[in-house]
Amino acid sequence: MLPIADPVVPLAPIVTHYLEKPRQLLINNQWVDAADGETFETVNPATGEVLAHVARGRAADVDRAVRAARAAFEGGAWAKMSAADRERLLWRLADLIEARRGIFAQLESLDNGKPYDSVYKGDALWSADHFRYYAGWPTKIEGTTIPVAPSGYFVYTRREPLGVCGLITPWNFPLEIAAWKLAPALACGNTVVLKPAEQTPLSALYLGELCLEAGFPPGVVNIVTGFGAEAGAALTEHPDVDKVSFTGSTEVARTIIRASAGNIKRLSLELGGKSPCIIFADADLDRASRWAATGIFGNTGQSCVAAARIYVERPAYEQVLDGVSAAANKLKVGPGMSATRPDLGPIISERQLNRVMGYIQSGLADGAQLVTGGQRLGGPLAGGYFLPPTIFTNVREDMAIMQEEIFGPVAVVQPFDSADEIVKWANGTPYGLSAAVWTGDVGRAHRMAAALKAGTVWVNSYGMFDPAAPFGGYKQSGYGREMGAPAIDLYTQLKTVWVRS
């Protein structure tokens, strides 16, 4: 692990201007203060310093946003807009995101801590691609005719938008996951209230500016910043919200499920994970080791699909352990805006850093062996929330570090002896979001893919996504599938019409 700090990339003038004054809520195409005028601080995790002040939305603000969204859905320009015109708006927004990806990269790096390049070359372009993919859908959302009616009847179906959708996004991929939700919701003709994570509101607010520039009508896209227990809870409880899409922790999802009971809201939930990365001895071990390290340590381990449990067939165990450790130790850790181009940024907050450190201490207390990392970085990085890649071995399946989602750069590398054994272990957590299998035997790859209880299984790769490929979880990793054609089902409802001649 190589800690790096300065020099820092200069801020673009528009970003400096963006941070100079408190950021407001976007309601009905107007930037407005919170009803009570309050703001909250968002912090740069690389320094621990206040980055910006943001409007603290509460129930009254959510209600304003929902009313604006309802009016737009029921009778505004959006309700009258053709599907082809919706397509053009989505494509225009995609072009704006790509053109301004440098601004998003700086805002996201400052607010979230992730390296500038990972947003400029990754998150921002992927976000634009999501809008482009769903820009193709409005003119292709079709019903069917059903040849079951008695003589004199014509039966057909219509696929219609749900109405007002509440979209609640996390802090680990703020822009990208907002795009995952916004693009299909808008393609289907819904109106939305977006509530970004309080830790990372800035890229969502700038996305709101681009929605205005693209020409979305009033009330279609509303953004309410604030805390989950205030703005988020008000959105999930609101009786005029038809659907909530949430990405975040399983614990918070339980409160959303309870809150949705008031008006039986539609829900889609993409939740936690504890993903197994299974490496058989006949795999390309060097490549598997590098990808496994990227799978767990990418985004500083703050990913729902992080390869937190690396299982290696015993004959290859020492080689893979050495390979993953070597890859971890080569990763550069530092501020995301550093001109020296770090591989990993800080953990999102001091609270989350303390949580991750608690799991490290738990692992040591339970008898796990620490191979590398495990200590907060000091020196020039002492002001931020930096933790190097951390690897444990000698771990039991019942330990907290094997069963619970840590959401930090902490991996376990553990040997196994048989396919039956590893399937049992891999499926032995409450989660089922993703998994990976590395093998040179294509038959084994297919058998493992069928046996693993996970919404996504990668074979001889890790972390591959595409707007056209569905993504979601089994078990306590949630329900519903984002991306691809299945997301259209999340944001529409089906109506059957019987017509008598």
Q: Residue length, the chain?
A: 501
Tokens of 145: 């005719």
- Under 8 Å between Cβ of 86 and 189: yes
φ and ψ at 314, to 5 degrees? -55, -40
CA distance 284 to 103: 39
CA 181 to chain centre: 10
Dihedral sign of CA atoms 227, 480, 207, 13 in order? positive
Angle at 21 between CA 222 and CA 114, to 5 degrees: 75
DSSP per-residue string spanning 262-303:
GTT-EEEEE-----EEEE-TTS-HHHHHHHHHHHHHGGGG--
CA distance 87 to 152: 37
CA distance 350 to 183: 32
Tokens of 14: 């528009």
Tell me the sheet residues that pair with 410: 390
Tell me the sheet residues that pair with 426: none
Tokens of 173: 């991929």
Which residues are annotated as catalytic? 270, 304
Q: How many helices (H) and strands (E) does the chain have?
A: 18, 23
CA distance 390 to 408: 9
Three-state DSSP class for residue 221 = strand
Q: Which H helix or E strand runs over 487?
A: helix 486-490
Pairing of β 266-270 and β 478-479? antiparallel
